[in-house]
Copies of this chain bind each other. A is one copy, B any other.
Amino acid sequence: MAHQKPLILVTNDDGITAHGIRTLVEVMQELGTVIVVAPNSPQSGMGHAITIANPLRLYPADIFGEVIAYECSGTPADCVKLAKHHILKDRSPDLVVSGINHGYNTSISVLYSGTMSAAIEAAIEGIPAIGFSLGDFSRQPDFSHVREHVFNIAQNVLQNGLTKGVALNVNFPARGPEPLRGVRVCRQANAKWEESFHERRDPHGRRYFWLDGEFVNYDAHAEDTDEYAVANNYVSVVPCQYDLTAYSTVEQIQQWGL
């Protein structure tokens, strides 16, 4: 029997026309047969939202040459669900990759990240999955220094698989004067945004607010975190799970005698 090329689903949260997904499609074509199902508009900060109160739209998108692609009106998690349960009903993908996100999804950002929610949605479906993000918010980021790592990490996941219920959160530093120093498999840093709101008035005098904040790393002295890795020009790889149970506290709360 002929060896069948792996089937790779590509999605993202910046929308199907973003530069990051184009790079991801190009690299994945070296590893398998690629299909794209991605949002038709930016979905940054959508977390693990899904569309349940409105109907979902799905249209063919002829923007990646020979690669079959669809744009979807929903969230990244919706895209994975539609791909798995409608478009690819007869053959499940061997790998789901999401990104490359324009901006980091390290530490607490993993919770708000549409990029990672797509990867975690795939993990829920039992499909090995990776979210890729680049710490560069410019309109036209340079992805050239991450291509070999994207290829290598995806190839390893295809070869080794991932423990059931786990997806990888991969973050790359922006291209700098020095080459990347390598890959560190690490944990999610205990870091967050110390937030504030800008209060403004619209032309009708009505108040509105913009979320803003300053990033604070409470794990600044730890060397085993994703924040440490990217701050030191390493690629960070964090295995993420969707079982949120805080097992270490179950017994303690049982003792309350509720």
Contacts and interface: CB of A to CB of B under 8 A. Distances in A.
A2 interface: no
A104 to B, nearest CB: 14
A164 to B, nearest CB: 9
Interface in A158-216: 160, 162-163, 165-166, 168-169, 182-183, 185-188, 190, 192, 195-197, 199-200, 202, 206-211
Given A55-B209, A81-B211, A247 B49 contact: no
A256 B156 contact: yes
Residue with the greatest number of chain B CB neighbours at <10 A, chosen from A49, A78, A183, A206: A49
A141 interface: no
A51 B45 contact: yes
A108 interface: yes
B48 A47 contact: yes
Nearest to A194: B85
- Give this chain's copy count: 2
Given A47-B48, A111-B120, A120-B111, A245 B252 contact: no
A86 interface: yes
A61 interface: no
Contact of A197 (B86, B117, B196, B245): B86
Nearest to A187: B245
A239 interface: yes
Contacts of A57: 206-209
Contacts of A210: 55-56
B211 A242 contact: no
Contacts of A44: 52-53
Contacts of A42: 53
23 contacts: A44-B53, A45-B49, A45-B53, A47-B49, A47-B50, A49-B49, A55-B200, A57-B206, A57-B208, A58-B209, A85-B195, A86-B209, A111-B124, A111-B242, A163-B246, A168-B253, A182-B258, A187-B250, A239-B246, A239-B253, A240-B246, A241-B246, A244-B244
Interface of A: 42, 44-53, 55-58, 77-78, 81-82, 84-86, 108, 110-112, 117, 120, 124, 149, 152-153, 156, 160, 162-163, 165-166, 168-169, 182-183, 185-188, 190, 192, 195-197, 199-200, 202, 206-211, 235, 237-250, 252-254, 256, 258
Task: List 3 A-B pairs, minimum CB-CB distance, nearest first.
Answer: A47-B48, A55-B208, A183-B258
